[in-house]
Structure 1
Amino acid sequence: MKKYVGIIALFALVLQSFTSKPNTEDYFITKPNLSEDPVMQQINNGKLVYNKTCVACHQINGAGIPGAFPPLAKSENLNTDLNNSIKQVLVGSKGPKTINGKKYVVPMPKLALSDQQIADVFTYLYANWGNNKAVVKPEMVKAIRKRVL
């Protein structure tokens, strides 16, 4: 089992290494319409970022892959410590992590996303899968980026 988890993890990291710094325009189907609900626009844009950047490891339903990639659905870590979750996207993580009482062994690489993209993807995550409905602003991400980078 460990062998398969390791192979899956290696494959995911190899795929991630082929991703160059994304162009912000690649993530938006249309430019935001100021008459639309800005939170819904963030959720829609965040879904695009998630599907392009996160889905391979965390899966389309946010359930992750047992033993390898943690769930984002009903995630105690995500719902209780937004700052740490943003930091993990910005700088990555090493070593095993315990999420919802289960151990996950695959490290997460840092992601080359803008403050707006990170805010959008977290707003999408929080709006779905039993998470706490928080809205994340780019200014929050920018403040954390200044502290950790």
Structure 2
Amino acid sequence: MINTKLVVGLGMALLGSMAAKNSFETTAYISVDKNNNFVTTQNPGKEIYADFCMQCHGATGKGDGTNFPPLDGSDWLKNKRSASISAVKYGQSGPIIVNAKKYNSSMPAMGLTDQEVADVMNYIMTSWSNKQTKVVTVKEVATIKK
């Protein structure tokens, strides 16, 4: 049986630590794995990227140079924030220009929640050579319509 006082206490401690932190990268998140064990992760966006994005865009975010555009150093990601969020939220099809190269592949919708979209966008926008400082919030993701 789960000790609910312990869980609530952990949750309150976690919320307090989250409020004290000014960076989403240092926030710890508690979730439950398939065996109902508590799991703590520092950056859920990294896990979402590994599960949904890495297969096409690669572990280093470089893409494949032909079908899948790079995310690392992507001018499209940097200059088309709303379109980037929309692509993660709803999928992307049709031609786009990334770093002066045309890509015309299709990216399916992954079925992510607004929180997951925000998490993975924040991971991508602060990984590799990307140095975005404006955090993508759940509220911002929610405003993006298809």
**Which stretches in structure 2 are left out of the alignment for 5+ residues?**
1-10, 29-41
Q: Deviations over 1:69-97 (max 9, x none)?
A: 00000110111121111111222222332
> In the alignment, what sits opposite 1:133?
133
CA contact (8 A) 1:126 1:134 kept: no
| Counterpart position of 1:102 | 101
1:33 to 14, 30, 46: 14
Is 2:117 the partner of 1:118? Answer: yes
Q: In structure 1, what is the Cα distance between the partners aligned to 2:102 and 2:66?
A: 6
State the Cα deviation string for residues 85-143 of structure 1 (Å, max 9, x = none).
Answer: 11112222223322101122321111200000000001111111222233111010011
Question: Conserved in 1, the CA contact under 8 Å of 2:89 and 2:114?
Answer: no
Share of identical aligned residues, percent? 36
Is 1:69 paired with 2:50? Answer: no
- Does the CA-based 8 Å contact 1:63-1:73 persist in structure 2? yes
Local SS of the residue matching 1:109: coil
Number of the residue aligned with 1:56: 55
Find the aligned partners of 2:134 and 2:47 in 1 and give their Cα distance: 18
Q: Which residue of 2 aligns with 1:11?
A: none
Matches of 2:71 and 2:135 in 1, distance apart? 16
Q: Is the 8 A contact 1:123 1:133 kept in 2?
A: no
Q: Distance in 1 between matches of 2:135 and 2:24?
A: 7
Q: Which has the higher strand share?
A: 2
Q: Over aligned residues, Cα RMSD in angstroms?
A: 2.2
Q: Give the aligned residue type for 2:137.
A: K
Unaligned runs of 5+ in 1: 1-30
Bigger relative CO (Cα 8 Å, ≥ 6 apart): 1
**In the alignment, residue 141 of structure 2 is paired with which amino acid?**
V
Determine if contact 2:76/2:97 at 8 Å carries over to the other structure: no
TM-score (norm 2): 0.72
